[in-house]
């Protein structure tokens, strides 16, 4: 997909029938807030056309037919060692490598990472929080890499610290993953460049992985409603993003692959897969043994924040950590009834919004009003929909409203 991030959409820089190599740049944009796209495989450009997109419905994509003898890329955690010294790199070199590699927030946000790690002397970052909290059910891709790529992640974290000239670094892991906490603590003891990092076991609860919730849990600060963490001099980055930074800076590898969890009661052999970005949902489901007979709903992402898809050719994107397949037992079909003004959605909202007001504004196409109610601050956690006794799809309306506003601002294709 040419749009896998927040910011300017990439334009194709290859043509139909071109033969391309794995790692080659295929989509680019000049804008500061953007991230280039690279081919994950050796292959031939079959088409440049609209394709099902997990968030946007349909969007432009470069469709590549992989060569038959295409060598699969392997994960490379053994290429990183505990004696790594981040001072070998200047902050500008780290910024350039991350920008060139097309790295975006892989926890789901999709914000271009180069923008986040650009040193800004007027508003310096004084706290970095590395997010290892996977709070949605079924998803374990970050958990696996925390155990198996520990030194690679810490290498990326030390590069983020170097880029931002910040040594106050926390690594947040939920307290139901003591082995991941132990893996980080053990590696940090052996790694001089990570010696000042602190591993924090945070309470396992939903939505602990939201950046605002994490900042509150760890340093007890609030991000202003409608604001972003750098406004309070904090940066939050996901563990997979840190691993990708290490690969980009040390090995010059663009972001072409990621680990994805394929799980849920509707999947025969749930598991984690290291997959080329762009792999279709159908191929990933096939790798996991296929669907059980009672599978009824396929979601890109987790059951709370993901997007359900009908077209199995929808590809994996840089932000897609999971495919979750739910069964008829998981889905309770209910009919929306009028709002009874109970206020439960307001109480449940972790960022103190008024979900019913925003959803009502979106429903009636009052996007300006929805924005005045801080729609953009919604973290799309789904708590409001979950709690609503009237079964109103509040978070669905809010997600739709955000997409409509992004389209108006030309940050997303129509």
d(CA 360, CA 357) in angstroms, rounded, equals 5
Burial of 71 (0-12, 13-18, 19+ CB in 10 A): exposed
Name which position in 389, 407, 408, 410 contacts ligand SF4 (CB under 6 A): 389
Q: Kindly state the smallest distance separating residue 359's Cβ from ligand SF4, in Å.
A: 7
Name which position in 60, 142, 174, 380 contacts ligand SF4 (CB under 6 A): 380
Residues in the chain: 414
**3-class SS of residue 255:** coil
Name the E strands within 339-414. none
Q: Does 379 bind ligand SF4 (CB under 6 A)?
A: yes
Q: Does 345 bind ligand SF4 (CB under 6 A)?
A: yes
Q: Does 348 bind ligand SF4 (CB under 6 A)?
A: yes
Binding segment toward ligand SF4, per CB under 6 A, in 55-63, 265-273, 290-298, 338-346: 338-346
Q: Kindly state the smallest distance separating residue 391's Cβ from ligand SF4, in Å.
A: 8
207 or 264, CB closer to ligand SF4?
Answer: 207
Burial of 70 (0-12, 13-18, 19+ CB in 10 A): middle
Q: Kindly state the smallest distance separating residue 384's Cβ from ligand SF4, in Å.
A: 3
123 or 308, CB closer to ligand SF4?
Answer: 308
**For the chain, how long is the longest CA-to-CA vector?**
61
For residues 133 and 202, the answer to whether their CB atoms sit within 8 Å is: yes
Q: Does 231 bind ligand SF4 (CB under 6 A)?
A: no
Q: Does 343 bind ligand SF4 (CB under 6 A)?
A: yes
Q: Does 381 bind ligand SF4 (CB under 6 A)?
A: yes
d(CA 366, CA 375) in angstroms, rounded, equals 12
Name which position in 334, 341, 409, 414 contacts ligand SF4 (CB under 6 A): 341
Q: Does 356 bind ligand SF4 (CB under 6 A)?
A: yes
Q: Does 392 bind ligand SF4 (CB under 6 A)?
A: yes
Question: Which of 281, 276, 322 shows the shortest CA–CA distance to 23?
Answer: 276
Binding segment toward ligand SF4, per CB under 6 A, in 60-68, 107-115, 349-357, 405-413: 349-357
Q: How far is CA 341 from CA 89, 352, 358, 383, in A?
A: 56, 16, 14, 16
Q: Kindly state the smallest distance separating residue 306's Cβ from ligand SF4, in Å.
A: 13
Q: Does 342 bind ligand SF4 (CB under 6 A)?
A: yes
Question: Which of 276, 284, 272, 319 shows the shortest CA–CA distance to 65?
Answer: 276
Who contacts 71 (Cβ-Cβ below 8 Å, separation ≥6)?
42
Q: What residue ranges bind ligand SF4 (CB under 6 A)?
A: 339-345, 348-351, 353, 355-356, 378-384, 387-390, 392, 394-395, 398
């Amino acid at each position: 997909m040419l749009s896998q991030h927040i910011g300017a959409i990439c334009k194709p820089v290859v043509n139909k029938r071109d033969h391309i190599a794995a790692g080659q740049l295929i989509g680019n944009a000049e804008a500061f807030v953007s991230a280039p796209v690279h081919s994950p495989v050796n292959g031939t450009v079959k088409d440049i056309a609209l394709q099902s997109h997990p968030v946007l419905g349909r969007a432009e994509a470069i469709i590549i037919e992989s060569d038959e003898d295409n060598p699969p890329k392997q994960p490379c955690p053994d290429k990183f060692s505990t004696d790594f010294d981040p001072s070998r790199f200047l902050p500008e070199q780290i910024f350039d490598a991350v920008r060139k590699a097309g790295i975006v927030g892989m926890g789901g946000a999709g914000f271009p990472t180069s923008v986040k790690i650009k040193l800004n002397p007027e508003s310096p970052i004084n706290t970095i929080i590395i997010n290892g909290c996977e709070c949605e059910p079924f998803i374990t891709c970050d958990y696996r890499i925390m155990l198996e790529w520990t030194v690679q992640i810490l290498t990326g974290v030390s590069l983020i610290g170097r880029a931002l000239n910040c040594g106050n670094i926390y690594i947040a892991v939920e307290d139901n993953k003591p082995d991941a906490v132990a893996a980080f603590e053990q590696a940090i003891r052996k790694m001089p460049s990570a010696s000042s990092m602190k591993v924090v076991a945070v309470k396992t609860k939903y939505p602990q992985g939201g950046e605002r919730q994490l900042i509150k849990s760890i340093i007890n600060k609030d991000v202003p409603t409608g604001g972003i963490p750098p406004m309070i001099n904090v940066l939050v980055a996901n563990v997979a993003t840190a691993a990708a930074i290490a690969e980009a800076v040390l090995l010059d590898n663009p972001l072409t692959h990621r680990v994805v969890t394929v799980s849920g009661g509707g999947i025969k052999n749930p598991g984690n897969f290291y997959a080329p970005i762009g792999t279709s949902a159908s191929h990933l489901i096939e790798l996991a043994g296929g669907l059980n007979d009672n599978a009824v709903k396929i979601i890109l992402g987790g059951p709370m924040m993901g997007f359900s898809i009908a077209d199995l050719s929808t590809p994996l994107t840089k932000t897609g950590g999971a495919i979750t397949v739910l069964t008829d037992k998981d889905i309770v079909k209910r009919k929306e009834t009028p709002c009874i003004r109970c206020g439960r959605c307001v109480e449940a909202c972790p960022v103190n919004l008024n979900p019913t007001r925003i959803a009502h504004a979106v429903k009636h196409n009052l996007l300006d009003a929805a924005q005045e109610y801080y729609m953009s601050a919604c973290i799309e956690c789904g708590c409001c929909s979950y709690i609503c006794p009237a079964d109103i799809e509040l978070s669905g309306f809010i997600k739709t409203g955000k997409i409509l506003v992004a389209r108006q601002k030309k940050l997303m294709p129509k």
